[in-house]
Amino acid sequence: MGLRICASCKHENACKNHFCTQCGARLSGGEDCPSKLLVLEGEPKGAIFLIGTGSNTIGRESSNSIVLSDEQVSAKHAAITLKEDGFWIEDLESKNGVFVNGQRISKRKRLYDGSLIKLGSSILSVEINGNGLNSHKKSQKRI
């Protein structure tokens, strides 16, 4: 798991920090910091799912990357995809819809750090680390 090293004071900060806890400088990088979903309500409550490149599907079927045991969740309910500008969630024509921050989405919606996703009676919170863009394939080449 990665740390975010402060460019100003070299203090090692945890991935979740966006500002240095020692000097307050804004932290960049975080390439090693995975973005994740935390299950706040529903089954498995308290579980943490890492979301990365490719398609992260959410649903009741075991073939999904994120499986929720919720009768109101469709077999294939939603997908979270990393695009060039960040993470987006898409409603896969689920029966009960996808809600982000209390609003039902029509087709897809951009996710931000702290966004709350509601599927059926399950609630997931989004934690996006780094800049949410794993477009660091480029920067990894530089390193």
Q: Which two tokens stand for residue 102?
A: 């209390």
Amino acid sitting at position 26? R
> CB of 20: closest distance to Zn ion in angstroms?
3
How many Å apart are CA 118 and CA 121, to the nearest integer?
A: 7
Least Å distance, CB 24 to Zn ion, is 7
Contacts of 62 (CB under 8 A, 6+ apart): none
Residues that bind Zn ion (CB under 5 A): 6, 8-9, 11, 20, 22-23, 25
Q: Smaller CB distance to Zn ion: residue 12 or 85?
A: 12
Rg of the chain (C-alpha set): 16
Q: Which is nearer to Zn ion, 25 or 92 (CB)?
A: 25
Nearer to Zn ion, 9 or 14 (CB): 9
